[in-house]
Structures are given as C-alpha cells and as structure tokens.
Structure 1
C-alpha cells in the first residue's frame, strides 16, 4: 500500500491547501497476538483553520515564530484517538500541526517552530504531525528495467530534496505488547491504513456515506513489487487477516515475479520455488519453526502468551521489541547480522531497496549476498542527516529539486518501524516504541 498525494510547494498560489486531508482518517495498527487484526489502533483526524479566507491568498502574512502566531493564515490541528478492545478514546485533541516550511523570511527559525508541534501523550510517549524531509532514499531508476538493464543507472538519490507530510508516535512498549508485557510478549505486527468517505447507492432514493480503506502498507515494496498490477487496488482494501484467502497474492510470495525479471535481464538464476523464506519475511515472521530461515526473531509465536490456534499468515511489518538497538547500525539490517534492522522492524537508516533486492534473490536463506547485485542502487544513506531526538526526521527542504522549477512535494505512506533509539517510521506515518 502506498498513498501518494501531491501537495503544492509552500510558495505556490494554492499554498493554503491543507497538508493532511481533512476528509480522511489515518491509522497505525498494531497486532500483538498474530491473528491479523488490530489490537491497538491510533487514528488521526485533521481539521483546517483559515484566519482570513476572504481577503488573503497567502499561507502566512508575515514572519511566524510560534504555532499560534497571528501571521499564520492557515493552520491545521488534529485529534488523536486510540482504539483498544473495541473502545475508542481521544487521547489528545486540537493538537497543532507543524506548518509547511515556506522559507527563511516567513519562518526565520523553522526548527524551533517545528519543535513546538511535538506533544506529550498520557502514560508516556510523544506525538508529532507536520512536514519533514522525505526519509526514503533510493535510486528509483530500478524501475527502468532494473537500473537501465546494465546497472548503468545507479547512484542518484531520486528522492533527495523532496518533502513529505508525516505523522509520528513514540509509544511505551507495554502499551503495544500482548497483555501489556513486552518482556513475555515482545513481538508485534504493524501496518498503516488510510480511509476516505465513499458513497454507496442502495437504490434510487438511498445514499449512505461510509468509510472505506483506500490504502495499506506493512512491509515496504510489497504492493509495488510483490503484488501484480491486477490486484493492487484490492490489496489496498484488505485487512491482513484476509491475505491468506487471496490466492493470486499469496502465490506471488511463494513464486515472486522479480527474481524472474532479474534472471531475464542479468542472467542471475532465480532461486528455486516455493519461496518459503519470503513467506517467513512477509507472512509469518522469522522463527525456527516457521520455515527455512533458522532464527528466532520476530514471529508472533515467539510470544509466551501466544495462542498458536489464533495465529494466521498475514502481511505485517513485524518487530521484536526485546532486540536491543545496535551500537553501530548496519544499513543492510539482518542480512548484515544487525538483528535490530529490517526486516525486524525498519529504521530510518535501513537500506530497504538493497535489502529487499538481496532477499528476493535468497540471501536471507543462504546468508550470502548475490555478488552481481551486491552494490544495489549505490544510494546507501539519506541526502541529509536524521535528527537525534523525536521525531528524528530531518527538517523539510525549501528549494526545488532535480533542476526543475517548483519540485513537487509528495505525501507518501510507506510503513516502517523500529525500536532503535525509540524510533520508528511509516514513511508519512511513523511509530516509535520506547521503554517500559
């Protein structure tokens, strides 16, 4: 699942358009018992506030130094709701969104301004919503027949200079773990969804507005690379507990498309099928009893209070919260022996393009990188450093990118999560788990 909504550069004439859709619901969902359904859900609803819509066209009418500055003509606020056990509770209301970064004249100290949008949560934790540098780094020419068909198109961070609208959470582990015990039950599954109102016509006289799920993301690159074109929209509407019932999607986990393309373009033999190793990564989590990858890492069945009868194969990003942060994180995560990295959660610095490319070629099962593709896309880090404190995302850019006039700003929901330093990211949705 990936939600892409183009928003104008902050200096454009239409800059008063909202950063987040006020007619949508954004969710981060946590499955702590492995049944493919959410046990804890965090939901954002945004509202727009325009001070003077009749006589102004500007985002701000003078320098803004605070989130309540009267010079801010357009503001957004949100309510954050937690749903657990079928009961929903608003934990924060009217929380201000960090404004989009217009430029130094309008926002002379944007770092201080954005910091004001970090709020505390009851019981510990923090929340944030606002614009940030796009933390995803990759050479997207991978889609040009895998880097040009001869590995000539590599080394350019295609997303450098772009911004995303992001929501972030930092949550104590006990609030996410099964039965509130991260010590006994450290494994969780995480995914994000977005819902919009749709119209159903029951007959010529009756119309019903209902919330409909329009996007979903667990592991990165699943909908983009694993799921065939025909089923992408359907996948976006599913709950993870339904995944095992959609045979064409499950079949492409066990018999993936990408290795065949790599063999065709570069002559690297595709690993033998069925791909039980990929089923572990995408559908069950890694454990010795789950499949060929002989490591007890992040399968729900590792939770001491887990009921094996309830656990189902489901596409979720799984995280073992008991794995300590790495002193020196490796960009290739688990493939480099760093068990705190992807596919055990996903940190900002994890090179998911290179990891995923090696994983589909069997590296997670053999323990060896495929030499012909060892350099991946040659984009190994973000274009700017990440922050050292929550929300960890780098400040947004104000210049256009790639030599184009008015580089587009992109809102993207690409789920990642990690416990390292309390960080986790969902591309534009972000979850971090702290202590306790």
Structure 2
C-alpha cells in the first residue's frame, strides 16, 4: 500500500500515524523549464483518526537527495513543525543542508523559510522565497489502490481504498541546479524523532509498496532505521526468496528484478520524462507495477485508476476531503 502503515503489522511507524511517510514524488515542472517538483506526503491519520492531521511537533521530516550515485545524501531538506496553537494552526520551518550536513538526521543547514503557516483548509498556502516555491498542508491523498482486494488474495472489489483520504503534503518546486549539476539524482524520505538525546529514524522509503510486500514484520523497524547504502547487502537475499515464492522466479531472475528497487532510492534522470520508476508522477499507477513485480506478471493490476482531483499547477495535489 505505497508506504502507508510501514510499521510492523500494518501499523504506522512507532505506533504514531503522524510519523508515517506515505509517498514520494519527483517530476519536471509542467510550466517552468529546468525546474523540478518534489513532493513528500506524510501522516496516515486517515487510518487512525485519533492521531489528527497535525504532523508530529519537533520530529524531522527529511527529504534526502543523492547527486553522485553513491546512495548517500548530498542535499537534504528538513521540515520541523511547531506545536499546534489554540486555534488548530501550525507552522513549519525548512532547513536546506549540503555536504556533510546532508547526512545528519537532525535538522541542519541553512534556514530557507521559518514559521510558515501549514494550510488545513481548501486553499493551499503557497510561499515563494528566492529559488523555492513551497506549500505544506492538508491535501487529498493521491495514492490509489484496491487495498481490500490485495488483502483478500487479489479478489478485486473495484473500490479505491484511498479515495476519501487526506495527507499532509509537502510540495517544493525549485531550479534543477539546486539538486546538482548532473541530471540523474536519487531520492528518499525519512522521519526522525529524538529519543534519549539521540535522533532515531522511525520511517524511511522511496519506492512505493516495498516494505509491505518484502519485509517480515519483525524486520520493518530495522529497515526504517537503516540506510539505503546498506540495502543490497542486507535485504537482497531475503527479498529474492520472497519473489521466488510469490512469482515463481528463479534466484537469478529475482535478483535481476530487484535491481529496480534495491537500494530503496528513487532514481530520477531529469533529462528524460518522469514516469515511474524514473521519478514518479502523481498519476503513475505504481500499484499495478508492484503487483506485476511480485507476481512475475501473472497479476497485471487492480483496476483502479488515478484520482480526478489532481491539479494542473502547484502544489498539484487535490484539495482536502471534508
């Protein structure tokens, strides 16, 4: 289910829906040449309404960018949210780090914007500051899938489980140069909290629907705390066995198929049109692609199409459902 509920037993990481990284998108700006759009959606409170829509105050919601292909962050954007005020408002501060600071889990680097209002109504709060266009707020969840059918041995219901859900969407648009001189970049999201004086990663991911299909329940916390640079060494052999079981792959075929998603870094060659797995657009049918992978092509898809509330301009996701 994309990256929703990526903790053990289909629960949010650390048992808190506010800390759930749900999706990551990357594509070219449709109306600004040499500009890239990055969107990181968080907070699966649609599955746990008691969590509420406000992101976790003080946690670091971090989007990492690898510019040289070594699966380590060279650029990082960190978002830190305030405590909600008495009227239900909330503010967010964005940090931009490069070099060694980009590899740290805590919020580091230059403050690009401070105390920007998070939007919780129908109209997004769009902020333009220097090279950055930013909007952070409650939006319609763009992920689409028949999760009930997937959970019922692929007996399709025709219902889009996510059709009425909302998420907190963090959308940025920036010149390509901010993300490195070369067109090929790698991306992954991470959610970090402070525990006993240490910054601990409770969720991370890039490619949709990996941990749900491939990781055993007792392995998910360690995966969320891990680093992409270690993914092939730690997970390839286990995931090969998963594909042998689910799709009838040979070990060699499974290892080759996993090259598309291990390490868990979303590659985006900005010299080519975005279409998953080269980046990811909001209307890319990643559920069908993942079903085809795990079944070795025996299951072509779930019959659910993209949402119709996507917007042609920034911040591109639809207004929140009431």
Same-fold call, TM cutoff 0.5: yes
Show the counterpart of 2:320.
396
Are the equivalent residues in 2 in contact too, given 1:133–1:163 (CA < 8 A)?
Answer: yes
Partner SS for 2:289: helix
* CA distance, structure 2, for counterparts of residue 49 and residue 394 of structure 1: 23
* CA distance, structure 2, for counterparts of residue 97 and residue 342 of structure 1: 29
Show the counterpart of 1:367.
none
- Residue 110 of structure 2: which of 84, 89, 93 is its match? 89
List aligned pairs for 1:233-244, cutoff 5 A.
233-244=221-232
* CA distance, structure 2, for counterparts of residue 49 and residue 229 of structure 1: 33
Greater per-residue strand proportion: 2
Show the counterpart of 1:260.
245
Show the counterpart of 1:19.
54
Show the counterpart of 1:138.
145
Tell me how far 1:255 sits from its aligned partner: 3.1
* CA distance, structure 2, for counterparts of residue 160 and residue 194 of structure 1: 25
Tell me how far 1:360 sits from its aligned partner: 3.3
Show the counterpart of 1:387.
311
* CA distance, structure 1, for counterparts of residue 154 and residue 284 of structure 2: 20
* CA distance, structure 2, for counterparts of residue 216 and residue 27 of structure 1: 9
Show the counterpart of 1:210.
198
Tell me how far 1:49 sits from its aligned partner: 4.9
* CA distance, structure 1, for counterparts of residue 138 and residue 222 of structure 2: 29
Relative distance call for 1:90 and 1:157 in structure 2 (3 A) is same
Are the equivalent residues in 1 in contact too, given 2:141–2:166 (CA < 8 A)?
Answer: yes
* CA distance, structure 1, for counterparts of residue 153 and residue 46 of structure 2: 30
Relative distance call for 1:134 and 1:235 in structure 2 (3 A) is same
* CA displacement 1:19-41 (0-9 Å, x = unmatched): 11113110000011122211000
* CA distance, structure 2, for counterparts of residue 8 and residue 347 of structure 1: 22
Are the equivalent residues in 1 in contact too, given 2:97–2:110 (CA < 8 A)?
Answer: yes
Show the counterpart of 2:268.
319
Show the counterpart of 2:128.
120
* CA distance, structure 2, for counterparts of residue 164 and residue 242 of structure 1: 30
- Residue 157 of structure 2: which of 139, 145, 154 is its match? 154
Are the equivalent residues in 2 in contact too, given 1:147–1:154 (CA < 8 A)?
Answer: no
User: How many residue pairs get matched?
Assistant: 275
Are the equivalent residues in 2 in contact too, given 1:137–1:380 (CA < 8 A)?
Answer: yes
Partner SS for 1:388: coil
Show the counterpart of 1:77.
91
TM-score w.r.t. the length of structure 1 is: 0.59
Relative distance call for 1:46 and 1:225 in structure 2 (3 A) is same
Tell me how far 1:8 sits from its aligned partner: 8.2
* CA distance, structure 2, for counterparts of residue 343 and residue 25 of structure 1: 26
Structure 2 portions without partners, runs of 5+: 7-12, 19-43, 102-108
* CA displacement 1:80-124 (0-9 Å, x = unmatched): 00110135110111111102x4xxxxxxxx33xx2xx111132x2
Are the equivalent residues in 2 in contact too, given 1:253–1:278 (CA < 8 A)?
Answer: no
Q: CA RMSD in A?
A: 2.3
Are the equivalent residues in 2 in contact too, given 1:18–1:76 (CA < 8 A)?
Answer: no
Tell me how far 1:244 sits from its aligned partner: 3.2
Tell me how far 1:159 sits from its aligned partner: 1.0
* CA distance, structure 2, for counterparts of residue 47 and residue 163 of structure 1: 20
Show the counterpart of 1:176.
179
Partner SS for 2:236: helix
Show the counterpart of 1:281.
260
Q: For the pair shown, which has the larger CA radius of gyration, 1 or 2?
A: 1
Structure 1 portions without partners, runs of 5+: 52-72, 102-109, 200-208, 263-269, 284-313, 325-339, 363-369, 399-436
